[in-house]
Amino acid sequence: MSHLTTCYGSDLEAVADLVPDFDARSADALSLFNLSQWTDIAETLGFVTQLQTAAGALLKARQGPANLHAAALATFETWHRERPRNLSPAIPAAVRSARAKVRHDVLVGYTAAHSSELWFLDQQPASLRGSACFDRGATTLSGRAFLDDAPVNLLHKNRSVEATTACGWGGPVLLSLGTFPWVYGGRLYRTPPALDWDATATHNPAVTAMRLCASMWQPEGNLRQDARTVVYRYRHFREAVDLVLRDLPLYDPRRLVPGRLYRRGLLLHVEQASLELATVQTPLGPLAGNAHNYIVRRFAAFFALRRALLRDATRLSPALAALVAQNPDPCLRAFAPKGLATAEVRP
């Protein structure tokens, strides 16, 4: 029985099983795990050719695998800056820059204040930099740095309230950073809106968010997170998806129809077609097939790495063992090697 079953339940074991088991103590195994995650992201978003070029050169170098994560982030940043976009002439560059800066500042400020709760940003606007509002100038934009995602959707329950802030937030700011770029649960389109976040020479919130997302399948970032938050978010998503897709047929290789969408275990499958072309309109918002599988795989990566790291906690490095001992989750702290000072249980 692994840490996941002991602390959270067998459903987390099942999603972690989507990732082939590996030895987290092996640098090579960790590099291959990272490469598999980045490859999945690149294939889904569209920069797999660039990633393969960067990764291929690194894997041939003596110290290359250790630098794979940084190289993949740099590859994403370059691709994101160069990808073509249709910009509205109604939004001046100064307004775009102001919005990009606020988005970046919100993410950086939140990370500094809530380093163990990075999977999901759920904060009142007043607690965030600039109240998560930007100077909209003479445009008709709302002034909100992010989309208002408060109504119930596939990633969270209803959080709508009467608008009280300067730029009219209808609830808290809600961003699923662990599943970036699909951060809005009511907008799980085939192309995620967060990919179109503006960037300047000094502020690129999409790259900042991707860095946060990817940090949670790095050993240090993973063990710093309170997994209870991730468990809660996964179960909401799983229950919501099970409800809205209950009439979708189960995958049976003997009875497949070209172009039809099927449930195949915890993932979706479309026969002889692209998942990008398969979107289900649900009462909780659109759900594109590629978005669904991407989100499930990000949860799988988090829990698979956590399981691999905790398989033998006594053999963790001192730095990683200290993160276990100081984690907010008391069930995780119980796995800390004896003799390490542990954090107080929060209320």
Q: What is the structure's pLDDT at 171?
A: 86
Task: State the pTM of this model.
Answer: 0.94
**What is the reported pLDDT for 66?**
65
- Parts of the chain with a pLDDT under 50: 345-347
Name residue 346's amino acid.
R
The whole-number pLDDT of residue 343 equals 56
Q: CB-hemisphere CA count at 13 Å for 245?
A: 28
CA angle (25, 26, 29) in 5-degree steps: 120
Residue 310: predicted pLDDT: 93
Longest dimension (CA), the chain: 62
**What are the strands, taking DSSP E only, across 56-176?**
121-123, 173-175
pLDDT of residue 346: 45
The tokens of 216 are what? Answer: 């949670």
What local confidence, expressed as pLDDT, does residue 347 receive?
37
Q: Rounded to an integer, what distance in angstroms lies between the CA atom of residue 216 and that of residue 178?
A: 7
